[in-house]
Chains A and B, each alone.
Chain A
């Protein structure tokens, strides 16, 4: 250090030799695909929030959709199912196309899958049952995906309280749904950074991914503790009270929140469906 000018430290041999290293090409498909699928899910969650918000109260909507699905599967008269499908399609006529694509992609895929499963029935002389089941599956899946796209998840969990579901379940569900998004984004960032830093061929990709997953797990444990502390600091007593819910409705009454007219109309439709079901079966 002191007599720096007189004695140069010897340059290591390896620094002087020209480096002929060119990294073997890696297809990178593994990490790339994982990133893409993760992003797809995250996008879906994000888009579902902003595209369209239903004016129905979440609890009523959930109850109604479950009721309609049960009725359609219990019905032995296909006319009833067709009526329900006609109602669903009519509702869908007034929705934006991006949303329709999501809804019917799910519905048609599920219907095709169930048709495939029931294909043997067609060969054993029951082609009608294949059709019936596929149509009912189409109806159930489409209406569920319509609901899940039209009602934001946080509203839905708040609505669950109406059914007297224990607080602990709602809290868990609520936190899970919120953290799917946050942790998903965390995982995505880690994956992206792994991809950017990796040079050459990675022969143990599964360990990479398991490392990422492990990090996400640790992070989630840390975050859950912090969140819980934060919630208690802000006065959370473990109760998902109803006053919470009504206060929100009161503040949001002018804007996008639920409207009485839409709720009444939905109730009327449900009543009509029940009457039709009793009449036809």
Chain B
């Protein structure tokens, strides 16, 4: 779902980025209010989970791949505003270091995955959860409510990822309508809405959506079981906090080691072909046969480790290394932000 460079026209990218600015401002403001200094590193851990989740490519018969995003998971754990920021940081690291998603298209990618996805997912989650979340006193009630929470999180994540995919498909689809060259050939993404929406949605309504649900529910269940204190609203002593983070770090380590599973999925995700691949892409029986001119002459950015690989080495090594660096950066960035924050003391307690 990462829109690469030159698939959207620069004007579309600009519009999406401008649309994203108030969302970022709002999210930062709200997070400053609702997340305390010692909870800040948790956003980094959520970003790290999102980063790792996006590395598990799931194949779909027909040659395309997709992946989970994990934005709803972050929204369920920390609220949609924190989720917005955490997915934004994960996307930024991917775009800058690993060339996954374009630099110009960063605003559009954030709009889909960091804005639409967590907010829609969280809305559905809250809708299903209803008011029951407040009444969790007895042990039995806790059990039932946990089950309900998991179902709500699963449904929310399914709705979220499909909303994001639909938006991405629409962004792809309007390109050939709006931007063509003199010969009438599309300048950027060559597929109209009639192709892009079904292509994106078939995958996301079925397997990728399922992957997102499994990813979200599995990790949410793990958090509920291993470190439920993270979910508690009240801030804890810092010693307890680090203890609660430990199982999460362990889970992250396991996921990092498992990331090469994502390499099993051969093929490229829909709408993420390179400029050299696109003329051979077959859709509805016909090869495209040309490379849109906006793609060959467009902006290009040389990332440090394009496609999570480093020249001349087994893919697996590069993939694991990329996962380690990405996850560590997510955690470190939010540690540093947390260090810069003022200690907030709530005198109401």
> How far, in whole Å, are A95 and B335 apart by their CA atoms in the complex?
9
B305 is an interface residue with CB less than 8 A from chain A: yes
B10 is an interface residue with CB less than 8 A from chain A: no
Encode A78-101 as 1/0 by CB contact (under 8 A) with B.
110011011001101101111011
> How far, in whole Å, are A174 and B34 apart by their CA atoms in the complex?
48
B340 is an interface residue with CB less than 8 A from chain A: yes
> How far, in whole Å, are A90 and B326 apart by their CA atoms in the complex?
10
Chain A residues numbered 203-243 whose CB sits less than 8 Å from any CB in chain B? none
Whether the Cβ atoms of B338 and A89 lie closer than 8 Å is: no
Whether the Cβ atoms of B336 and A135 lie closer than 8 Å is: no
A98: contacting residue among B41, B313, B339, CB under 8 A: B339
Whether the Cβ atoms of B318 and A104 lie closer than 8 Å is: no
Encode B312-349 as 1/0 by CB contact (under 8 A) with A.
11000110010011001101100111111000000000
A127 is an interface residue with CB less than 8 A from chain B: yes
B226 is an interface residue with CB less than 8 A from chain A: no
Whether the Cβ atoms of A89 and B328 lie closer than 8 Å is: yes
Q: Across the interface, which residues of A come within 8 angstroms of B249, CB to CB?
A: 93
B302 is an interface residue with CB less than 8 A from chain A: yes
Whether the Cβ atoms of B321 and A82 lie closer than 8 Å is: yes
Q: Across the interface, which residues of B come within 8 angstroms of A100, CB to CB?
A: 332, 335-336, 339
A133 is an interface residue with CB less than 8 A from chain B: no
B328: contacting residue among A78, A86, A98, CB under 8 A: A86
Q: Across the interface, which residues of A come within 8 angstroms of B332, CB to CB?
A: 89, 92-93, 100, 104
> How far, in whole Å, are A78 and B305 apart by their CA atoms in the complex?
10
B318: contacting residue among A79, A85, A98, A131, CB under 8 A: A79
B310 is an interface residue with CB less than 8 A from chain A: yes
Max chain A Cβ within 10 angstroms of own Cβ: one of B41, B336, B340: B336
> How far, in whole Å, are A243 and B332 apart by their CA atoms in the complex?
40
Q: Across the interface, which residues of B come within 8 angstroms of A96, CB to CB?
A: 335, 339
Chain B nearest CB, measured from A92 CB (Å): 6
Chain A nearest CB, measured from B299 CB (Å): 15
> How far, in whole Å, are A131 and B249 apart by their CA atoms in the complex?
31
Q: A83-B321, A89-B328, A131-B304 given as contacts; is B336 within 8 A of A101 (CB)?
A: yes
B339: contacting residue among A82, A86, A93, A101, CB under 8 A: A101
Chain A nearest CB, measured from B311 CB (Å): 8
Whether the Cβ atoms of A82 and B335 lie closer than 8 Å is: no
Q: A83-B321, A86-B321 given as contacts; is B313 within 8 A of A97 (CB)?
A: no
Q: How large is the interface on A (under 10, 10 to 19, 20 to 34, 35 or more residues)?
A: 20 to 34
> How far, in whole Å, are A57 and B315 apart by their CA atoms in the complex?
37
> How far, in whole Å, are A109 and B249 apart by their CA atoms in the complex?
29
> How far, in whole Å, are A258 and B24 apart by their CA atoms in the complex?
45
Whether the Cβ atoms of A127 and B313 lie closer than 8 Å is: no
Q: A127-B302, A131-B304, A135-B304 given as contacts; is B336 within 8 A of A82 (CB)?
A: no
Q: Across the interface, which residues of B come within 8 angstroms of A95, CB to CB?
A: 335
Q: A97-B336, A135-B304 given as contacts; is B318 within 8 A of A89 (CB)?
A: no
- Closest B residue by C-beta to A104: B336
Q: Across the interface, which residues of B come within 8 angstroms of A89, CB to CB?
A: 324-325, 328-329, 332
Chain A nearest CB, measured from B181 CB (Å): 30
Whether the Cβ atoms of A92 and B302 lie closer than 8 Å is: no
> How far, in whole Å, are A190 and B196 apart by their CA atoms in the complex?
73
Chain A nearest CB, measured from B250 CB (Å): 13
> How far, in whole Å, are A90 and B325 apart by their CA atoms in the complex?
8
- Closest A residue by C-beta to B335: A97
Q: A79-B317, A86-B321 given as contacts; is B340 within 8 A of A101 (CB)?
A: yes
Encode A131-151 as 1/0 by CB contact (under 8 A) with B.
100010000000000000000
Whether the Cβ atoms of A86 and B325 lie closer than 8 Å is: yes
Q: A97-B336, A100-B336, A104-B336 given as contacts; is B310 within 8 A of A82 (CB)?
A: yes
- Closest A residue by C-beta to B253: A90
Q: Across the interface, which residues of A come within 8 angstroms of B340, CB to CB?
A: 97, 101
Q: Across the interface, which residues of A come within 8 angstroms of B317, CB to CB?
A: 79
Chain A nearest CB, measured from B335 CB (Å): 4
> How far, in whole Å, are A85 and B325 apart by their CA atoms in the complex?
8
> How far, in whole Å, are A96 and B336 apart by their CA atoms in the complex?
8
Chain A nearest CB, measured from B340 CB (Å): 7
> How far, in whole Å, are A269 and B304 apart by their CA atoms in the complex?
25
Whether the Cβ atoms of B325 and A78 lie closer than 8 Å is: no
> How far, in whole Å, are A95 and B337 apart by their CA atoms in the complex?
13
- Closest B residue by C-beta to A94: B249
> How far, in whole Å, are A109 and B115 apart by their CA atoms in the complex?
32
Q: Across the interface, which residues of A come within 8 angstroms of B305, CB to CB?
A: 82
- Known interface pairs A100-B339, A135-B304; 15 further A-B residue pairs with C-beta atoms within 8 A, sorted by A's residue number: A79-B321, A82-B305, A82-B325, A86-B324, A92-B332, A93-B249, A93-B332, A96-B339, A97-B339, A100-B332, A100-B335, A101-B336, A104-B336, A127-B302, A131-B304
Residue contacts A-B, CB under 8 angstroms, 17 given: A79-B312, A79-B318, A82-B310, A89-B325, A90-B324, A90-B328, A93-B328, A93-B331, A96-B335, A97-B335, A97-B338, A97-B339, A100-B335, A100-B336, A101-B336, A131-B302, A131-B304
Q: Nearest 3 A-B pairs (CB), nearest first?
A: A97-B339, A89-B328, A97-B335
